[in-house]
Structure 1
């Protein structure tokens, strides 16, 4: 089976199941329950998590149990990927190269993860010169993406806490989830931002990606008609200030990019300085803008 790159679970598909939620809570639910059905109508994501996942962990465990000689390695790899920067070589730090390759092969065959290819070009030495030692060792590195948020949630919070859950220490696990939820959900939010950006420019979802190099990382990158659109997605409890735009512009300068548009996405809105900014290149997206994805 292939390494699927398409986003199957859209925000609209979550809306069809959670029509009673406002857009803020819908995004929270999508970042957890995109691939897991729940029968009750909850209004708070943490209540839903506790009732439908944390206290139901015994019933859900078989879904994430692997009938494989590598079952322990598969779980360890997924826990590492769920918590890390998603770079492909992460699991090579805990397994031998041979085991890591076998683990990836099985995870791809099970269609749990996909590869997000790096757009970075290999470093080449100027003609007649030799690259410095640390640059000769550097390898362009792809990233790994879970094919659904629910699986990533399980391996970020539930699988690592199974011993606590077995002891019925549900409150301990919920404290962990509450404390780290925004950090966890930031990538799920980034994927929804890709979805909205693709919608705005009339392109397929997979045309929008991240852009990362040895020194720089940009959340959202789209090249269309020889023009580039770059963006940042912030899933935080405070407004985005102009310094986020300034930092994004500096990243582009380092990459020698001259963007056609800068797209900023915020969970909590924007500073007055940004909102007053008169620059046609800058696009600001609040939570209400995501309603286009469910109404369109």
Structure 2
């Protein structure tokens, strides 16, 4: 897996490593985001014991861990020690001036095999490692189990970590570094399908168009990505049927919890626990208008699937499984073609939000997001004190005209508390000449053309 833009995470690991004494880092995030690749890059050239946990019996895994420790430390006594705590105690006494790194990858599997493991590692840390020249890294992919075993207040390990890294999918500015493509529109199409998970990105062939890639890499029932969300969700939740139904409804355009509940014929209060679980698993996000003073208590929350690939899969693949299982790929692909431009236009708004910090905005904004109420909806809004950037995204196949600017200014009249307003238009296909001429004379108008921008 290519290693792109994990500088901040590497910096955290290096700082923990350079600390005097011990450190205890928890790395977590959903599968395929590059956690193991990050660890591999970090431990290069360092003294490190790396162990990948699995679902074998604890005794077998202890033997495997001892064997790996022996390979690194070249001390046969390690092989004769019986229990895991004693192994760690012996290893800790072998450290010298060079810090030893001990990595337990897929830690949640070890804890799932034996539920005493979190308490055992609490004891190992408190009684042995915390005063030694050792860096302990626990890494895991099943977010629900990592919360339960390592991060939650109820976990025996709570409060022990010196740092944690939540590895999330790449944003668009870093996603595009995987490709040798200058056409931003094509990159947005790829991003709309794949999202920012590095493992998924590797499957697409940039020499082919988007639909060839979708057909061969996602729709074919033997392709790697065909069942990927299915596998991930079934690992995370015990009763996936309701979760799948919720995600399908959201992917098809329902974002208010009341509307989602109505579509599923479920009482809203019975839906809440499922929604909260999907948020905990980093699959859903709750979005509120940027101007809300207390987002957690806002009644305007909307729910979106965080990952573009999951969104694409639940919009196009999951509802069409019956056709795909009998290899009617072209029928499903044609359905996608009819809707894909609409789907991508929503992702375009996401791309702008993720990339706007790269642009020359007239003021240093404090918050950025979207705005909506019963009267108006604004795609992009950045604010600071009495200043506001108000933006509209148009993923059209024709230039944006001056009427779009006029409509945006009309919307801005609802935002009474901002005295200084800037108007930003983001266009896939450029702008009409009269709009460009007006922007040259008026510094409050910002035009971003995909064909010319650095998004």
Whose radius of gyration is greater, 1 or 2?
Answer: 2
Corresponding residue for residue 205 of structure 2: 40
Query: Which of 377, 395, 409 pairs up with 1:249?
Result: 409
Instruction: Tell me by how many angstroms 1:215 deviates.
Output: 1.7
Describe the shift of the 1:192–1:12 C-alpha distance in structure 2 as closer, same or farther (beyond 3 A).
Answer: same
Under a length normalisation based on structure 2, what TM-score does the superposition of the two structures give? Answer: 0.55
Question: Which of 242, 245, 254 is matched with 1:73 structurally?
Answer: 242
The Cα shift of 1:56 comes to 4.2
Tell me the SS of whatever aligns to 1:288. Answer: coil
Question: 1:11 aligned to 142, 157, 172, which one?
Answer: 172
**If the length of structure 1 is used for normalisation, what is the TM-score?**
0.82
Q: What's 2:260 paired with?
A: 91
- Give runs of aligned pairs for residues 180-259 of structure 1, distance below 5 A: 180-200=339-359, 201=361, 207-256=367-416, 257-259=418-420
Q: Displacement of 1:262 after TM fit?
A: 0.3
Aligned mates of 2:369, 2:168 — CA distance in 1: 12
Higher relative CO (CA 8 A, sep ≥ 6), structure 1 or 2? 1
CA change 1:236–1:6 in 2 (3 A) is farther
Compare 25-34 and 195-204 and name the one that shifted more: 195-204
* Range with bigger deviation, 69-78 or 253-262: 253-262
Flag the 1:8–1:223 CA change in 2: closer, same or farther, 3 A: farther
1:58 CA drift (Å): 6.1
Provide the residue aligned with 1:161 in structure 2. Answer: 320
Give the number of aligned pairs.
273
- Note the aligned Cα RMSD (angstroms): 2.7
Residues 57 and 147 (structure 1), Cα distance of their counterparts in 2 relative to 1, 3 Å cut:
farther
Match runs of 1:266-281 below 5 Å: 266-277=427-438, 278-281=441-444
The answer to whether the Cα contact below 8 Å between 1:81 and 1:90 also exists between their aligned partners in 2 is no
- Please state if 1:28 is matched with 2:189: yes
**Pair 1:213–1:140, CA change in 2 (3 A):** farther
Q: 3-state SS of the aligned residue for 1:60?
A: coil
SS in 2 for 1:237: coil
Cα distance, 1:109–1:57 mapped onto 2, change above 3 Å: farther
2:255 match: secondary structure? coil
Unaligned runs of 5+ in 2: 1-146, 152-165
On the 8 A contact 2:172/2:355 being kept in 1, the answer is no
State the secondary structure of the residue aligned to 2:225: helix
Structure 1 gap ranges (5+):
123-138
Answer yes or no: is the 8 Å Cα contact 2:185–2:450 preserved in 1.
Answer: yes
Aligned to 1:141: 300
Match of 1:283 in 2: 446
- Whether the aligned pair in 2 keeps the contact of 1:240 and 1:266 (CA below 8 Å) is yes
SS at match of 1:168: coil
